[in-house]
Structure 1
Amino acid sequence: MTTADPDLVVDEAAPETTVRKAVFEVLRRHGMTTIFANPGSTEITFLTGLPDDLDFKLALHEGSVVGMATGWATATGRPAFVNLHTTAGLANAAGALATARTNRVPLVVVVGQQDRRHLAHDPFLAGRLSGLVGDYPVWTGHPARAEDVPGAVARAHHEAVTGEGPALVVVPMDDWLQPAGQLRAAAPADIRRGRPTLGAAIGELASALDNAEDPVVVVGSAADGESNWAAVTALAERLGAPVWQEPFGARAGFPQDHPAFAGHLPPARSAVRAALAGHDVILVLGAPVFRQYPWEPGELVPATSTVLQVTPYADDTHHSIADRAFIADVSPTCQALLGRVRARAGHSASARPPAKPLSPPRAGEPLRPGHVFDLLARGLPQDTILVEESPSSRPELHRRVPARAPHGFLSAAAGGLGFGLPAAIGLKLGAPRRPVVAVLGDGSSLYGIQGLWSAAHYRVGALFVVLSNGGYAIMDRLAEQSGQGKPPWPSFSEVSIAGIAEGLGCLAQRISGHDELAAALADHLPVLAGRTSPLVLDIEVAADPAYG
C-alpha cells in the first residue's frame, strides 16, 4: 500500500503487521467494529480502504459524531469507537464529550494529529491537543512511538470502561502504516466489572431504615437497568416508601407508572425541602445528592432528615451532603437489604399523581407542549426509548410521559444542547428493535440538526418530535424571572425545521392542529419499532408560560 509520501511506503502483506492492522484487531477484540467519525486529512491513512467487517458511520459535525456514539454505547452497553480530526474536530466535540462524561458513557476516541516527523516545526494542522477539552476525558494517551498506538487504544478501552467516560488517544497520521512491533498490549483483553455488596455495612443501612418512621427513596441514573429496577421496586414496596427521581437525571431509575412513584425532584433547594418534608430517612440510590439549579439559600434537605447514599460512583460521594455514603452497586445492595429490613404498610397512591390530560385547544388556540405529551403518553409503546432535549417543557414532559421500561428515558445530565438528536440516532442503531422517540425543542434541535442527514443516509427509523415555538423559550422564561428587563436575543420564527429536515433527506411533516397531530401519531407510533427511515414531526406550539 502506498501514499503520496514516498517515505510511508509500507508493504502491509509483510510478516510484520502495521499499526493500522494491529488497531483493527484491538477494535475487533473489544467489539468496537462501528466507527463514528467526521474525518479530516489527518485521518485519511487510517480510514481509507477499511476492511468489510468495520462499519463506518459519518455525521456532518463532531457534536453529532459523539452524540451518535454516546447513544449507541448507551443502547448496547459497550464502549463506542470515535475518530475525530485534530484540533477543530476535538474542539467541536467538546460539549458532546462533556455530556458523555457526565452521563458516564464509555467512548474510545482516537484524535488525529499531524505527521510525527515534523511536529517539532509546528506544521499546518498540528494540534495543540493537551487539555483542549479540559478534564472531561477520563484518560488521554499520547503514544511515544508508533508501535505503542495499538496498546494505547487497548488501554483507552480499559480506561473508558473503568472510568465510565471518554478516553482519548492522539495518533499522528504517519503512525498508521508503521510496523506495529511484537509487544503485547498493556491492557486486559476482557474487563469485567462488579463491586461486592456492602457486607457489614448492610446491617448499618438496614438498622437505619428499620428505625425510620417515614423513609423515602430517591433514585438516579445509576439505578437504571432491568436488575436495578426490579431490586429497587421490591425494596421500595417492602419499605412502603414513596420514590422520587433525582433532579436533572440522565436516565430513569424506577418505573414511573408505579403507584409508589412520587415524581421528579424539582431543581431548587426550597422545593426539594418541601418535597421531602416529613421524611426522617432519605435513601438515595444511584444518584448524587443533589444536583441543583439555580442557586438558592438554605439546606438541600430538611434539617431533621438523615441522608443515606448508595452509589457505584466514588466521585458522587466527593460532593455529597449525605450523612453516610456507601460505594456499591444498586441492585445487589437492595437485594441484600430485602432480607434485612422489616415490611411495612405502603402508600397506596403516588405522592404526586400524573397530570390530568389537557382539553384539546379550541378553534384558533395554539397547541401547547402538554397537548403533545398527552398524545404521546396515550400512544407510545411501553418499551419506547424517549430522548429528551426540550428544556422549557421538560417538567411538563415528566408530569405527562412516564418512563415505563428500563432504558426508557435518556437526557443530557451535563445540560449542554445538541445531544438529543444524534443520541436518538445512535440509540436506534444500537437497539434497532426498540421504538426510539426524540422530543426536542426547535432551538435545541438546531445544535445538532446535521445529524438528520446521518439518520436518513443510514435509514435510522427514529421519530423526532420537535416542539417549534420559534425561540429559546427557556431563556425567555429565565430572563423574565430575573426581573432585569427585556432580553436582547430575537426569536427565530423564520426557521423551518421541516424544511431543513427535508433538505437533509428526511421525511418531515409540519403540524399545527390537535386533530392533525393525533392522526399522525396514531399512524406512526404503533409501527415505530419497525421503522427503517427517520420521520420529523415539526409541531407548532405556544411556549409554556412558566418553567419549573
Structure 2
Amino acid sequence: MRPIDALLEIVRGEGVSRIFGNPGTTELPLIDALAGVPDLSYVLGLQEASVVAMADGYARATGRPSFVNLHVAAGVANGLIGMLNASRSRTPMVVTAGQQDRRHLAQDPMLSGDVVGLAGAATKAAVEVQHARDLPIVLRRAFAAAVRPPSGPVLVSIPMDVLEEDSDVDVPDRSPTPAYGPAAGVGPAAEMLARASRPVIVAGDGVGRGGAVGELVAVAERLGATVYHQPMNDGVNFPGTHPLYAGMLLPRNAAIRETLASYDAALIVGCHAFMPHHYTPGPAVPEGLPIVQLDADPAEIARNFAVAAGLVGDVRTTLRSLAAALGPIAGADERLEAARTAHAHARAATDEAATAAYGGAPLDPLAAAHAVAAGLPADAVVVEEAITVGMRLRTVLRQDRPGSYAHTVGGGLGWGIGAAIGTRLGAPDRPVVAVLGDGCAMFGLQGLWTAARYAVPVTFVVMNNGEYRTLKDTLDERKSRSAALGSYVGLDLAPPALDWSGTARFFGLDVVRVESAAELRDTLAAGSDRPLLVDVPVAGHCATRPGG
C-alpha cells in the first residue's frame, strides 16, 4: 500500500470521517488523494487557529480523537493557540503538518522549519516521520497517545515526499484502547469520607470527560455533600439543577480556601490542581482539610496540595466502587434537604436580580446572560468564550446533560467560533449557541466563513461592549482605581465601533441586532436553521459599576 493510502486507511480505522485543514503545497498529496473519496470529508478553514478550534469542538462532541492537517511551520505556528487550548482542556486530536521535501531540507528551503520544536510545548508529543515505512506505525502511536490519560493533541510532521513515495508500506492492525479499572484504596477513602459531618466535593472536568457524572451524583447523594465545579470548568461535571450543586469555585486561591474552610473533608475528582487565575497569597486548600483525590492521571495526585488518600484509576468505575463502599450514612439525607433549601433560595435571588436588570440596549451583562439561559432551545449546547458575560452566565446557566457546555481553560482567544462549528458538526442533532465576547470573537473571525461555506447552523451571540471589560475590572481591583479616573490604555475597541452586522454580511451569515434582553431571549428561543450572528449591545465598564 502506498504511504498516502496507508494514511487514509489508518484515519478511517480510527473512526475519522472529517479532516479539518488549511492546505498548502506540502499537503497537495493528501488533497489529491481525497478527491473522489466519499467517506472522508475535508472541512476547510481560512486560518489554522480556527481549524484547530473546530477540531477541538468536534472531538468533544463525538468523544473521538479529531484529525487536523496544517501547512508547514508557519501553519503550525498559527495553530499553536488551538493546540495549547486542546492540551489544557485535555482534548484528544492528531495534528499532521506538512514538511518540506527531505531531498533539499539541508538547503533550508522556503517553508521549511522546526515543526517538531514549535509544537513541542503545546502538545503531548511531536515527532517527524523520516521514512515512509515508519508513517503507519507513527500514526497509530499518535492516535493511541492522544486518548491515553491525560488526553491531548499529538503532532506528526510529514515531509511532502514521504506521501508521494511509490513504495509499499505495511499498515499495522488497530489495537483496542486499554480499559483502565477502578483505583486501589477505595475502602479506606470511603471510611474517611463517611466520618465527615460537612463533606464537600469538587467536580473537575475529568468527571465529564470520563462519562462519570451519574456516578458522582450517586457518591454526592450518599454523602449528602455539597458539590462545586472546579474553577472555570470546561464542561458539565455535575447537574446544574441538583439540590447539592452550589456553583463554581472562583479562580483565586483565597476564594477557594475561604469556601472550602466550611467543610471537614473533601473529595476532589478529575481536577487539574484548581488552576487559579489571579494571584492571591496562600494555598487553595485550608490547612488540615482531609482530602481524597481521584484522577486518571497519576501526575495530578498531590500535585499542589497534600492528600490523605490518592486514588489513581478510571474515574467512572472508581466512583461506582466508592458509592458502593459508602453505603447508608447518617445525616446525609438531612444535609441534602438543607442544601436543597439553601441553593434554591440562592438561585432564586440570582434570577430575581437578573430579571430586574432586563431593559433596552445597551444590556446589563447579567441580564444578557440570563436572557441567553432563558432563551436556549431544548437540548442546546452552549459554547462559551465571553469573559465578562461568561462569568455571569455561569451563575444562571443550569444544565444537567453532560456535553451541554463547552469552554476552554487554555486561555487562547479566538477558540469559540471554531469550537462551536466543530461542536455542531459533531453533534448535528443538537442546537449550538456560541456566546462570545467581542474581543474574543475578533481573534477567530475567519471561522465564520466556514460556518457559511458548509451551512453549519450555529447561532453566534456576540456580547458587544466595545472594550476589554475584564481587564478594566481587574485593573480597578488591583489598583483600587476610581471610576472617575476613566483612563485606560489599550483597552477600548471603540471608536470606531466594531460593525458586527457588517461583519456577518461580509462572511455570508444572517444577522440580528437585538435592542433588549427580552428580544435576545426570544431570538434564541426561535432558533435558526442557518448560521446566525446575534449582535448584543452590552453596557460597558463605567456604565455598570458603582458610581459609573
The residue aligned with 1:356 is 351
Q: Rate the CA distance shift 1:208–1:40 in 2: closer, same or farther, 3 A.
A: same
C-alpha change, 1:540 and 1:148, in structure 2 (3 Å) is same
Which residue of the other structure, out of 261, 265, 275, is the alignment partner of 1:281? Answer: 265
Correspondences of 1:507-546 after superposition (within 5 Å): 507-524=510-527, 531=529, 533-543=530-540, 545=544
Task: Give, in whole Å, the separation in 1 of the partners of 2:501 and 2:297.
Answer: 41
Identity %: 35
The farther-off stretch of 103-112 and 138-147 is 138-147
| 2:411 counterpart residue number | 415
d(CA) in 1 for partners of 2:96 and 2:475?
40
Contact 1:146/1:178 (8 A) holds in 2: yes
Shift in alpha-carbon separation, 1:314–1:546, aligned structure 2, 3 A: farther
SS of structure 1 residue aligned to 2:116:
coil
Structure 1 equivalent of residue 71 of structure 2: 85
AA at the equivalent of 2:351: K
Which residue does 1:302 correspond to in 2? 286
Q: Do structure 1's residue 74 and structure 2's residue 55 form an aligned pair?
A: no
Contact 1:215–1:241 under 8 Å retained in 2: yes
Q: Which digits, 9 at most, give the CA deviation of each residue in 1:417-467, with x for residues without a partner? A: 111111010010000011211111011011111101101111111111110
State which of 223, 226, 241 in structure 2 corresponds to 1:239.
223
Gaps of 5+ in 2: 482-486
Query: What amino acid sits opposite 2:202 in the alignment?
Result: V
What secondary structure, in the 3-state scheme, does the structure 1 residue paired with 2:148 have?
A: helix
Structure 1's 108 and 362: CA in aligned 2 closer, same or farther, altered over 3 A? closer
Higher helix share: 2
1:477 counterpart = 2:461: no
Judged with a 3 Å threshold, the aligned counterparts in structure 2 of structure 1 residues 293 and 515 are, in CA distance, closer, same or farther, namely: closer
Match of 1:116 among 90, 102, 105: 102
| CA deviation after TM superposition for structure 1 residue 167, in Å | 1.0
Give the Cα–Cα distance (whole angstroms) in 2 for the partners of residues 75 and 81 of structure 1: 14
Give the deviation of 1:153 after TM superposition: 1.7
Map of 2:484 onto structure 1: none
- Deviation string 1:476-528 (CA, Å, 9 cap, x unpaired) is 2122223287431052232112211211111111122234324323322xxx6
CA RMSD of aligned residues (A): 2.1
The CA distance in 1 between the partners of 2:511 and 2:204, in whole Å, is 35
Going from structure 1 to structure 2, the CA distance change for 1:325 and 1:161 (only over 3 Å counts) comes to: same
1:369 and 1:541 in contact (8 A); partners too: yes
- Asked whether the equivalents of residues 360 and 515 of structure 2 are also in contact (C-alpha less than 8 Å), the reply is no
Aligned to 1:93, the other structure's residue is in SS state helix
Among 328, 331, 335, the alignment partner of 2:316 is: 331
Q: Does 1:444 align with 2:445?
A: no
Q: TM-score, normalised by structure 1?
A: 0.91
Q: Answer whether contact 1:141 1:168 (CA < 8 A) is retained.
A: yes
SS of equivalent residue, structure 1 residue 446: helix
Residue type matched to 2:13 in 1? R
Could you say which residue in structure 2 is the equivalent of 1:347? 336
For 2:389 and 2:288, how far apart are their aligned partners in 1? Answer: 33
> How far is the alpha carbon of 1:113 from its aligned partner?
0.8
Deviations 1:339-379 (A, max 9, x none): 22133223323555221232455876631122122222223
Question: Is the CA contact (8 Å cut-off) linking 2:142 and 2:156 kept in structure 1?
Answer: yes
Letter in 2 for 1:455: A
Q: Deviations over 1:49-68 (max 9, x none)?
A: 51232100001110110000
- State the 1:193 CA deviation: 3.5
**SS of 2:121's equivalent?**
coil
8 Å contact 1:288–1:317 — kept in the other structure?
no
TM-score, normalised via structure 2 length:
0.91
SS of corresponding position for 1:24: helix
* Distance in 1 separating the partners of 2:120 and 2:79: 12
Map Cα deviations across residues 247-282 of structure 1 (whole Å, 9 max, x no partner). 022112100111110110011122112212221111
Partners of 2:83 and 2:112 in 1: CA distance = 21
Moved more, 385-394 or 145-154: 145-154
SS of 1:326's partner is strand
In structure 1, distance between residues paired with 2:228 and 2:66: 31
Q: Equivalent residue of 1:297, what SS?
A: coil
2:251 is aligned with 1:263: no
Matches within 5 A, 1:133-532: 133-163=119-149, 164-185=151-172, 189-199=174-184, 201-224=185-208, 227-317=211-301, 319-323=303-307, 324-341=309-326, 342-343=328-329, 344-345=332-333, 346-348=335-337, 349=339, 352=343, 353-354=346-347, 355-357=350-352, 358-359=354-355, 366-483=362-479, 486-493=487-494, 494-524=497-527, 531=529
8 A contact 2:190–2:325 mirrored in 1: yes
Structure 2 counterpart of 1:167, which letter? V
Q: Secondary structure at the match of 2:98?
A: strand
The 8 Å contact of residues 358 and 517 in structure 2, kept in 1 or not, is answered as no
